[in-house]
Structure 1
């Protein structure tokens, strides 16, 4: 019940509103009488205050202070019995009530308090009873939905049937949108837009209500603009103030939120169980924990999978996220990084499955491993399709401060050999960190030269030989502040052409010649000998690939 409802009531037709019209919509929580100087300090908000103004008679300043106090205590209105102790309300009081938006009513002296209080309280009790009845009906409807494991569209349709407002729900993980009414203007607008993430939703066009519990955000309810209103800046920026046209709106929204959370938790739980068992099969295939090809096909058949066309491994790596975790370790940062990596994973999964619906995957720390089984006729377009999927993922994560790389092994006709493709995909991702080849697609088949050198990095004897060859230059550069090793690298890259190397380093050819003579003496190598030049090229490349290894430059 609001002040404007009191003024419209025929029983109070003799009441007159002389100030504070802008506050006529103030809700009334109760009616109270104050005739003592300190009575206002007990107000808790929403009271329609009635007074004879005994404590204010002949004191204009006290009346103004009283109006200020009522406004500060969030009273809904002030009613003064006219003629008992105050005949005329001062202009200053009228002006102040107008400025504060506090309705100021004149009440004829003939009205007993009981004739004011009882009808209003009776109406408040009736309204509250109706709200409780409505709340119980709403709760019953949504309880039935929860018990019957109703779908999200059913939940949304029930919400719409209660409040008459169409709604949609965007799932953060799948980026799928469900509607209360697929024919509504809201649904048509959303279907016409390219929604790849909740960030794509136009906040000037839609109202959003977050669906979340303490541990997880599931998605957002979407409404046409104006259904929800933001609270004032003094209050929580994340909360939402429901329109009061329908008192059941907030109750229906709360029940819808609860039901969607329950439904989402069930979906996620079922998905996690299924993914766990599927992930175990993929892991067994990748690490070759399989007795035979027949075992793979038998286990795959349980999930409706078909590996008869062999497969290839595609690894999605979030570049340098582990280093970011180590550098910025804190609960807040870890949660933020985890949320970002989860979003990247979800987008990657969505785009790869959109490209190859029969792809299978397993999440391992900061990577996702996909096994793609592609028919022979479709393999010609594989690189083109993967490149397009990679570009789509890049566009979707443009606002996330991380990039990704694809590491792709070779295709094997026998699924039992897929572990080799996995090892190859891992090797090219390893190369991407050695050479900082981030934000790109890396195919093992196109890394012939670098693949030759990968085994050297795991061979201590080979590393020792390369280290012993270049260590004198590293020591010399460190001691004298020179760059002999860099000179040797540039000359080697220029096919041992001193003039070309001098141009690249902006030096005189004689300076490069002199440096090379010094280098030859330091490392005891003859640059005219083909075998020495070949060994130096191998040592330099090995150094480039392994300079991040411990003790290499110590």
Structure 2
């Protein structure tokens, strides 16, 4: 029982509290009579001590100092309080003693002299026994409720409601790593509020009470190797929880841990299916839209006819244990999905065969490369665990997304060359690369051929349709060190004609023949064409 409950017993109606501003919520585990000078040696934590004051009446000592010494002993032994009969041996409690006890928040009660010890002890012991019996019954009821819960195979929402019923307090269950949030009753606290609350809880504690917070919450953390994984939040906790309430919370925590493992196993299998699907797209294995649609349905991914960006992210997590590394990377994926679900809806996230993070992001009017980069940088800062590097390929249909993967890898390779810092993402888009496309490609010759196909073929096709001479103009322009005058002389045309033709080339290819970086790409492309198709070059040159 608590002291405040003890004072409500009929036998304690005439008892008064002498100390000021003391905690009357202290637990009383028993009541002990002290009337022997050396009796304090047998005091136990939680005991409430009652005395006539006789042990302090030694004529050879200062009884006031002796009383203060006793209070020090009681405080050190964590006793709950002291009751003194005043009127027989002690006429009053000196103010010095009361002040000392008040400063140390230790209750001293004035007991009427006329009461027999049995009048005080029996009601307290009876109350404690009855309360213990009630606590045992309520604890047994808790176990029976949880047994029924497990027998009926109910889920986490039912668990939150059960805990709410057993404690009569609002409950929230938050599993961060699996992106699960449940309340009972609903809407008593928001998810954002819960996340803010958890940031104030030291990771080395299992539970923490925020007394001054408006929700007066008790937060029971659920951790995995000192990493926060989930929490049970109990609201409106004004005093210490009852034993059966603590039992209910721990039973719930055990079930939540088991559910986390079950859901993680399912999520791991599901993630493995997504990873396999991503690998097939990466390797260009899927050849028909019908197969693509079927495989996407198997992983419950809704696809459209829009183009998609492929994004590759990589980081060094410094984990030596392979199991912990996989667990941490899976947790990162869960957090990525949560962070991007609103800004980049429908994004498919997984791993490739090199254990890099892969994102397939659908293109629409709102989703641009700049938006993707901004949202990914925001995401990395919230992870607060490592330095990330990334690359974004250009947008392609899903059946051609292999090209975007290759481009994303080239951009990722380029990002590795740049300095980055903790909690920061260094990311580049393939579309902003120039000569780096060749330098950081895994197959520079193949990339050179791709550039030739991508840019020169458009020029050649234009020449065929318009009977123009853009290709030869570009070649001569580059051979003459980008001189308009020398090119005009070599082709027997006006220099303004050269400028016009270069403008058309810029519009057709997106590359600027007058920009030195783009000139390098054109030179590389022309070299590939000359090496692989010398006869075609001869025809194109008009020889």
Shift of 1:126: 0.7
Q: Show the counterpart of 2:414.
A: 431
1:268 has 2:251 as partner: no
Matches of 1:16 and 1:349, distance apart in 2: 61
Mean Cα displacement is larger for which, 309-318 or 122-131? 309-318
1:302 has 2:298 as partner: yes
Per-residue CA deviations over 1:362-401 (Å, capped at 9, x if unaligned) read 23577311235x5xxxx453752x5334323433544637
Distance 1:92 1:294, change over 3 A: closer
Matches of 1:18 and 1:306, distance apart in 2: 73
Matches of 2:112 and 2:396, distance apart in 1: 95
Q: Show the counterpart of 1:46.
A: 46
Q: Show the counterpart of 1:124.
A: 128
1:369 has 2:369 as partner: no
Given the alignment, which residue of 251, 256, 266 partners 1:255? 251
1:349 has 2:337 as partner: yes
Given the alignment, which residue of 201, 217, 221 partners 2:228? 217
1:409 has 2:397 as partner: no
The answer (yes or no) to whether the contact 2:221–2:231 under 8 Å persists in 1 is yes
Distance 1:130 1:172, change over 3 A: same
Matches of 1:360 and 1:100, distance apart in 2: 60
Per-residue CA deviations over 1:139-194 (Å, capped at 9, x if unaligned) read 33233334434333322222223333323333323545322123x4x34xx27989
Given the alignment, which residue of 375, 378, 392 partners 2:375? 392
Aligned length: 433
The answer (yes or no) to whether the contact 1:44–1:74 under 8 Å persists in 2 is yes
1:98 has 2:102 as partner: yes
Mean Cα displacement is larger for which, 58-67 or 148-157? 148-157
User: Which structure 2 residue ranges, 5 or more long, are not aligned?
Assistant: 202-209, 446-480, 483-518, 525-543
Shift of 1:429: 0.2
Matches of 2:158 and 2:90, distance apart in 1: 61
Matches of 1:435 and 1:219, distance apart in 2: 36
User: Which structure 1 residue ranges, 5 or more long, are not aligned?
Assistant: 229-241, 460-494, 497-532, 539-554
The answer (yes or no) to whether the contact 2:313–2:388 under 8 Å persists in 1 is yes
TM-score normalized with structure 1 length: 0.64
Matches of 1:148 and 1:298, distance apart in 2: 36
The answer (yes or no) to whether the contact 2:281–2:398 under 8 Å persists in 1 is no
Distance 1:309 1:162, change over 3 A: same
The answer (yes or no) to whether the contact 2:32–2:50 under 8 Å persists in 1 is yes
Shift of 1:195: 7.4
Shift of 1:123: 0.6
Matches of 1:81 and 1:250, distance apart in 2: 37
Matches of 2:84 and 2:198, distance apart in 1: 53
The answer (yes or no) to whether the contact 1:313–1:371 under 8 Å persists in 2 is yes
1:155 has 2:159 as partner: yes
Distance 1:166 1:194, change over 3 A: closer
1:177 has 2:181 as partner: yes
Distance 1:25 1:204, change over 3 A: closer
Shift of 1:458: 7.3
Q: Show the counterpart of 1:453.
A: 439
